[in-house]
Amino acid sequence: MTTRIRPVVYRPLSRRITTMLWGLAVVAFGAGVIARLNGYSFDMELLAILTLAVLGAWILVSALVALVRDR
């Protein structure tokens, strides 16, 4: 039996930034939970609107990056 070693490739800068943004979003969520448990209240409707807007911007930037890359 032959063992084949798959080459290791680390992610390019764009994917690293995406992953780090995702991690920061998780950290922000955790910080929000801690604040909530400490008695701070949030306007959940406004938060949902802002989240949707940020998601839209994120996808838009992703689309633009993909467009530039495909050219």
Partner 1 sequence: MSGTDDNSRREAALFTTIRDWGITRGEHGVFGGVVEGVGDRIGLDRVPGRIIAVVLFFVTGGLFLALYAAAWALLPDREGRIIIQDFGRGTPNIGALLMIALFAIIGGNSGPGVWFRRGDWGGFPFGIVWGLLSLAVIAGIVVLVVTAVTRRGGPRPPRAPRAPGTPVADPVYAVPPASARATAPTATAPGAAPEEPGDVADAPAPVYVPRPRTPGPGSAIYLLILSAFVFAAAAVWFLDREGTLSVSPVEAWFAVAVVIVGSGIVIAGAAGRRVGFLGFLATTLIVGWVIGLSVFPRILDFADNGVTFTVDGVTHTVGGGHGWYDSSSTGVSCRDFDGNVDVASDAPRIDVSSVATDVTVTSSSAVLSVPRHASLRFESASDVTGTLAFEGRNVTCDLDRADGTLYTTLDTGDVVTVHLTTPHATISVEER
> Which residues contact partner 1 (rule: CB under 8 A)?
2, 4-12, 14-31, 33-34, 36-41, 48, 51-52, 55, 59, 62-63, 65-66, 69
Which of 39, 46 has the CB closer to partner 1?
A: 39
Question: Which of 61, 60, 31, 32 lies closest to 46, judged by CA?
Answer: 32
| Closest separation in Å from C-beta 67 to partner 1 | 10
Of 11 and 46, nearer to partner 1 (C-beta) is 11
C-alpha 52/C-alpha 62 separation (Å) is 15
Q: What dihedral do alpha carbons 54, 33, 16, 7 form, nearest 10°?
A: -140
| Least distance between partner 1 and beta carbon 47 (Å) | 12
CB of 36 to partner 1, least distance (A): 7
Helix (H) or strand (E) holding 63: helix 44-70
